[in-house]
Structure 1
Amino acid sequence: MTMTLRTVSADATAGLPAVAVPGAVVRDPLGAGRRRARNGLLAGLGGVAAAAALAWVLRPGPSRRGATAKGTAAEDATLQAGRRLNRAAALLGASVLADSAVEHYRGSFHNPAMITPLLASAATIAVSLHGSLDGRPRAHRLRDATYAAAALTGLVGTAFHLFNVTRRPGGLSWLNLFYGAPIGAPAAIALAGILGFAAERVRHNAPDGPPSVAGLPAPEVLTVLAAAGILGTVAETALLHFRGAYHNPAMYLPVTVPPAAAAILLRTLWRGGQGPRTAARWAMRATAGLGLLGTGFHAFGVHRNMGGWGNWRQNILNGPPLPAPPSYTALAFAGLAALTLQEEVAVGGGGREEGDGR
């Protein structure tokens, strides 16, 4: 608490000279918030450093796979798909880390649990980078545990955000969906954990059998997972761009191109062949490029605010979220991994499949 002095002007006292009188005792409501924000950021940075150090300590040595056995093309394709999924989880985790840091800083970390997604996403990034560099065709227990923790964090965070929206006056309404805690944001860290966990299952498959995830065919599981992630991201984008009244025609791109790409990807499930897979591959590449392009548009949106990048401390908080668009790129990577596995299964089956016209 601080004691303030209130200056009384001469006009307000009918000609008397200005004097300073004791004012009301006021609290410093921002002081505690700044301290919580500082502590939250320090904890998040500490989590990033600890996770990176752990990944460095556990980094894999040179793979001796070629010295012990001659790797088959199927093993190489499966490992490539697994490592691509690791990279997708890393990119999605980075998007969540940056977005959560900005949004929870804006909320002054008033709930200590708001630090959790920073730690979970930082750990996801570290183990995903470890997995993307790991040339061994088997799962890793620490990566498995970290991915499972990230998925659980995302599910709990989604419940927290849904509770935040429904407890506001008006309950589940458009206004609260626009300005309350974003429901789709914690779901992204859950998706990153699921993608990483699937990466470990893919790379741990036996080389003489078709790749599977939880007993289900891996190509189909990953195809559905990538498409569902893209469509969920589109739903959140559509909501926020509707809030922005689609004032820029480019705001229609992320709600039109990715849904079409997801449909093209899903089409490969019931119509195989090289043609549909090639079309899906180009659709995933377009989605990945759109994610990078969207970051540029959001950076321009920050620039358009008063003060531009010279006032970045305020405009990053109030402008369009810079870390959001790369989530499309991450999910496109997952779709490309699914297509790699589809091609592996097709080649393993002798190159003939329903709908390939041969």
Structure 2
Amino acid sequence: MARYKGPRGAAGWALGLTGALTAACFAAATRGGRMARHPATPPRASEPPPSPEKATLAARRLNRSAGTLAASVLFDSAVEHYRGDFENRAMYTPIVTSALALAVSAHGTFDKSPAAHKIRDGVYLLTGVVGLIGTGFHVWNVVQKPGRFIWQNLFYGAPLGAPMAIGLSGLLGFFSERVRDTPIGQTPRLFGLPAGRVIGAVSGAGMVGTTAEAGLLHFRGSFHDPFMALPVTMPPAAAAALTNASLGAARTDRRLTRWWLRATAIMGVSGTVFHAIGVGRDMDGWRNIQQNLLNGPPIPAPPAFTGLALAGLAALDLMEDDSDV
């Protein structure tokens, strides 16, 4: 078998462009940015009270994160469930709920109101519940197959981690409404804890779960392309850094965490390009789109990493705006 020598022609240019964008992101991040204005020193007693505008801005960023996850699930589940011929009518549910979550997330992203929205709240709660129920359906699908949790069933059965992506979209969206609804003069909190720390921990855990799902499918593909190692190496490092920032000491320097989260967000977008190239390399390429789109690498899946990285960046913003964190 000929050794893989990397993509050529248009594919090579596409990968070169994504690599250049990633390098530019790294360079910009290492020069500082927003973190440079937040040195790792205790706040002064004269520090002004928390600004409601900052809480609203962080909430809008969380809406954007929830919307990115919802968009990824919407298109990915549509393709996967179409391939399954919608054998179970419940397979329409994640498409409808993720579309609703995407719509309310877009509304929240542009909404500058400092109050929670009842319709967005309801949609986000519904989305979270659908994620939990969907996980149960997928586990049941695998359990019903001969051998249960064997590699064959994990590779080709219903993906166990996929429904949790829409669940995370709902959870992050619900958090965004709680942050937005912060009373004037107070810092955003969730379950009595600083909101930035809670969201950071949840985003880090979500990255680990998404990495496990990507790792399983890339293992099925034998990691035939060296770039396939990126989704199982970069997000765990970002999750570790974000978890450390969420559980670590207050007022620490988090520039490296921010840098790595930005790189992970870029990687998620780049992954879509890689998967599109993978579809184009199948027999007859895009001319046989009906078959290759169903059987090739899932093009809408990688932006799930982008959505979680955006949530992590919003969490860092909340930590930096909180004088006690």
TM-score, with length taken from structure 2: 0.83
Q: CA deviation at 1:220?
A: 1.1
- Measure the CA separation in 2 of the matches of 1:273 and 1:141: 34
Higher percent of residues as strand: 1
> Which runs of 5 or more structure 1 residues have no equivalent in the other structure?
1-70, 354-358
Hey, what does 1:193 align to over in structure 2? 170
- Measure the CA separation in 1 of the matches of 2:249 and 2:306: 25
Hey, what does 1:125 align to over in structure 2? 102
Superposition map of 1:96-107 within 5 A? 96-107=73-84
Q: Among residues 253, 266, 273, which one is paired with 2:251 in the alignment?
A: 273
Hey, what does 1:216 align to over in structure 2? 193
In structure 2, the residue corresponding to 1:169 is in which secondary structure? coil
Hey, what does 2:72 align to over in structure 1? 95
Superposition map of 1:165-204 within 5 A? 165-204=142-181
- Measure the CA separation in 1 of the matches of 2:237 and 2:184: 34
Q: CA deviation at 1:208?
A: 1.3
Number of residues paired by the alignment? 277
Superposition map of 1:68-147 within 5 A? 74-147=51-124
Q: CA deviation at 1:72?
A: 7.4
| Cα-Cα RMSD | 1.4
Hey, what does 2:309 align to over in structure 1? 332
Is 1:284 matched with 2:276?
A: no
> Which runs of 5 or more structure 2 residues have no equivalent in the other structure?
1-47
- Measure the CA separation in 2 of the matches of 1:228 and 1:194: 13
Show CA shifts across 1:120-179 (max 9, x none).
000000111111111001101110100000001111110000000010011111110110
Q: Aligned AA for 1:252?
A: A
Q: Aligned AA for 2:97?
A: A
Q: Among residues 189, 209, 215, which one is paired with 1:238 in the alignment?
A: 215
Hey, what does 1:206 align to over in structure 2? 183
- Measure the CA separation in 1 of the matches of 2:305 and 2:134: 21
Q: CA deviation at 1:215?
A: 2.6
Q: Among residues 222, 225, 245, which one is paired with 1:248 in the alignment?
A: 225
- Measure the CA separation in 2 of the matches of 1:272 and 1:265: 13
Is 1:154 matched with 2:131?
A: yes
Q: Aligned AA for 1:112?
A: R
TM-score, with length taken from structure 1: 0.75
Q: CA deviation at 1:213?
A: 1.5
Hey, what does 1:44 align to over in structure 2? none
Superposition map of 1:4-23 within 5 A? none
Q: Aligned AA for 1:160?
A: F
Q: CA deviation at 1:80?
A: 1.0
